[in-house]
Amino acid sequence: MGKVLLGRYVPGDSIVHRMDPRAKLILSFFFIVIIFLANNWQSYVLLFALTIGSILAARVNFAFFIKGVRPLIWLILFTVLLQIFFSSGGTVFWRWGPFNLSYYGLINGAYVFCRFVLIIFMSTLLTLTTAPLAIADALEKLMMPLKKIKVPVYEISLMLSIALRFVPTLMDETAKIMNAQRSRGVNFGEGSIMQQIKAVVPLLVPLFVSSFNRAEDLATAMEARGYRGGEGRTKYRVHYWQTGDTAGCAVFVIVLIILLFLRHW
């Protein structure tokens, strides 16, 4: 079970860890947008420098990032191959039916690969350095203006926090029940499709039952502690926008300016 890295938080005490989650969230989105402005190798070098710089500042083991890419590698390769074989222009090296291997195709393929890797690295950096609940808090804060148009911001953020909070619990539970049923002679992931579907029932039913029980307990516990909706509720963890956050934003804006400059090189 422990193989899933997505959304895994590694506690630490670096500049990036201490940043306001709102800043990190905004900058991650910002980064994903500006990536699409990059159109030559100089701009990709710049974005790689920014990414590597952020990773170094976070002082997180680089192995995490490689691991983050690994589950998506087939999707990436598929997209890259599509780019390589279906875009035309420049010198054509090889042609076979609808496929052709051209200079532009190769370049585009390389760019798409870089884009994927950069986006994965940056979003991995966000989740590695920010506790899931901090991300939920940040989203709530950032969505606040939407309250004006009657979006149930508190409810959405509560649902998100609860969902995030119970992912590890649910995974533990799944592992436990799988072990129990394997001990009773169920073989998961073996046999015909029909047998495999049948094997899921002894896993899903207990998971549903325990999730419902847990939801009930949680509701009771929240009510017992006086939860009456999010309106007017104060936060235990208050995030403050600090100089570091402004500085981080400044760095990204400078990168954007250089990037716009490089585009028209």
Q: How far is the CB of 130 from other proteins (least distance, A)?
A: 17
Q: How far apart are CA 201 and CA 250, in angstroms?
A: 53
- The answer to the question of residue 66 lying near other proteins (CB under 8 A) is no
Q: Which stretch binds other proteins (CB under 8 A): 38-46, 81-89, 201-209, 218-226?
A: 201-209
Q: How far apart are CA 251 and CA 246, in angstroms?
A: 9
Which positions ≥6 away from 255 have C-beta within 8 Å?
Answer: 34, 46, 47, 50
Taking CB under 8 A as the criterion, the residue among 44, 64, 111, 252 binding other proteins is 64
> Would you state the structure tokens that stand for residue 175, as one six-digit string?
């592992």
CB burial of residue 16 (10 Å; 0-12, 13-18, 19+): buried
Number of residues that bind other proteins (CB under 8 A): 26
Q: Which of residues 67-106 bind other proteins (CB under 8 A)?
A: 67
Q: Which stretch binds other proteins (CB under 8 A): 96-104, 156-164, 202-210, 225-233?
A: 202-210
Q: Tell which residue, 15, 33, 201, has the closest CA to residue 119.
A: 33
- The answer to the question of residue 205 lying near other proteins (CB under 8 A) is yes
CB burial of residue 68 (10 Å; 0-12, 13-18, 19+): buried
Q: Which of residues 149-188 bind other proteins (CB under 8 A)?
A: 173, 176-177, 179-187
Q: Using CB under 8 A, list all residues that contact other proteins.
A: 2-3, 10, 61, 63-64, 67, 173, 176-177, 179-187, 190, 201-202, 205-206, 209-210
